[in-house]
Structure 1
């Protein structure tokens, strides 16, 4: 190895972001990972270098002089890599279309529908990658991005709406039946796939473990705010990713907030039920692109197919 003294390379991005923000929480938000993931990488880096890089207070985090020096060098190196990557990543028009999609939406909604894409648009080749939050089409090697509009979108990025976000508690049918028998639901909605949010303030969730996801920690609070229903859980459990919380709900571990697109197939198959129905939360999903879709036949074809798939959502 030509660089025997290099620290763990996967720790450098979290480290640089933490120094820049003087906050692990803000670094985690920028990188779309959990606070714990950033903390572990910082610890790995400090262990590798044999130095303490931050002065940790009760509510403060101050990078040391050594940390600021290393962070500046990391930024310079990343700038050089970024410039080289943009030159290498120039793709010929008409080649494969690079699509970035939020991880849970990619796993639970988009990938199961890819056979239909190959059938309906046989000339289109799509390269998929998982990603969330803001995307820079100048910097990132992607052509389009499928995102929920929970962050500011630059004015020069085109937004093509696909479907509205609708949320509600979901659980396994067996768990729902046990809760009904034991009066764990203090009043319920329709329980159907397309049911509404029920009467505001009429009952709520009780006697069940509620499941959280670190990547959308406010989901239960959002649902309570929208429906004015109460939540009185027997316990709570947090998973690092949304798809893990939803899979735990399918397994009967507890009840999770299910965005409709992410649980649609499970509701249709009967693996999940939505006892209180679903309610719009004011957000929606869009296809982001650096130019109007009609200027690139690949993007236009993908958008038309996505909208056809979204008609039932």
Structure 2
């Protein structure tokens, strides 16, 4: 053995945690072991070194100066081991990256752009799965998740912002023309703009929506109410229809069934192709999309590459 004077290595973790917390109980909680296990390891370490490392009072546990010096050295050594392990793991990671993405965003925005990902980042293989809401990287078989920040994100999860959410009513060009001719868009009120610029290229003198079927999605039932709150426009529909998923509601809008609330990322391609128009434009709703990961993206070159590509794709949103 090259290091004959090393103390028992299995005692160093509980020792360092005890010094840091000045408590065997909290050290045990951090390491997920019993108080007795920590106490035995501290005793083994003191016996090995031939010194007392803690002044034990009735309610306090005070590390000696020698204990603090040793704990600092152990902490530095552990930091070096941790850094080296991450470097090795980063170099060895070459397998597929498991990405969970909200279903409609996956179908309408991400999948159509995968050929560009293969072209721009040829060494990256991504396995896709549909999922929404909170994600547990300890439990779920995913490496990263693309989510809208409409739920609390744990403090230990890294959030890398991608783009802001913008929403507005969308419909087929034919329906927009029929509604315009039939005055299905309510006229502008006093003090309101006569025309609203919109990414769909269908500016409409309007203050609200009337005479049209509005389309809802069960997965985001408050979308119309959110838009009304943000714009203070009225909605007086002729009818309403609810679909199980946002994707279905947007497909119904493309088909001319009615008017749906379209988040920009989900309708961007349809607006560009002219399959949908946004008569009232789009407004920010205060949320945004993020790439969630269990560690900073720069620690995994696969995640860093995916994030850079996603941000490049999001520049037009």
- Is contact 2:86-2:299 (8 Å) kept? no
Change (3 A) 1:106 1:219: same
In the alignment, the residues of structure 2 paired with residue 130 and residue 111 of structure 1 have an alpha-carbon distance, to the nearest angstrom, of 11
TM-score with structure 2 setting the length: 0.67
Unaligned runs of 5+ in 2: 192-199
Whether contact under 8 Å (1:174, 1:252) holds in the other structure is yes
Which residue does 1:282 correspond to in 2?
Answer: 286
Give, in whole Å, the separation in 1 of the partners of 2:234 and 2:49: 49
Tell me if the contact between 2:100 and 2:142 (Cα under 8 Å) persists in the aligned partners: yes
| Structure 1 spans left out of the alignment, 5+ residues | none
- How do 1:1-313 residues align onto structure 2 when only pairs under 5 Å count? 93-187=93-187, 203-313=207-317
Distance (Å, rounded) in 2 between the aligned partners of 1:24 and 1:253: 66
Distance of aligned partners of 1:291 and 1:160 in 2 relative to their CA distance in 1, 3 Å threshold: same
- SS at 1:89's partner residue? helix
How far residue 72 of structure 1 moved from its aligned partner, in angstroms, is: 46
Deviates more, 1:225-234 or 1:24-33: 24-33
Flag as ranges the 4+ runs of structure 1 deviating above 2 A: 1-94, 187-191, 195-200
- Cα distance, 1:186 vs structure 2: 1.1
**Post-superposition offset of 1:94:** 2.3
Q: Give the greater-gyration-radius structure (CA).
A: 2
Shift of residue 282 of structure 1? 0.1
Q: In structure 2, do the counterparts of structure 1 residues 284 and 306 end up closer, same or farther at CA, with 3 Å as the change threshold?
A: same
Structure-2 change in CA distance of 1:260 and 1:183 (3 Å): same
Q: Once superposed, what is the RMSD of the aligned Cα atoms?
A: 15.2
**Does the 8 A contact of 1:16 with 1:71 survive in 2?**
yes
> CA 1:216/1:91 → structure 2, altered by over 3 Å: closer, same or farther?
farther
Calculate the TM-score normalised by the size of structure 1.
Answer: 0.68
CA spacing shift, 1:72–1:283, aligned 2, 3 Å: farther
Task: Determine if contact 2:208/2:234 at 8 Å carries over to the other structure.
Answer: yes
Aligned-partner Cα distance in 1 for 2:24–2:245: 18
> SS at 2:90's partner residue?
coil
Once the two structures are overlaid, the 10-residue window that deviates more, 16-25 or 111-120, is 16-25
Q: Comparing 12-21 with 38-47, which one deviates more in the overlay?
A: 38-47
Cα contact 1:172–1:251 (8 A) shared by 2? yes
1:69, distance to aligned residue in structure 2 (A): 54
1:276 Cα deviation (Å)? 0.1
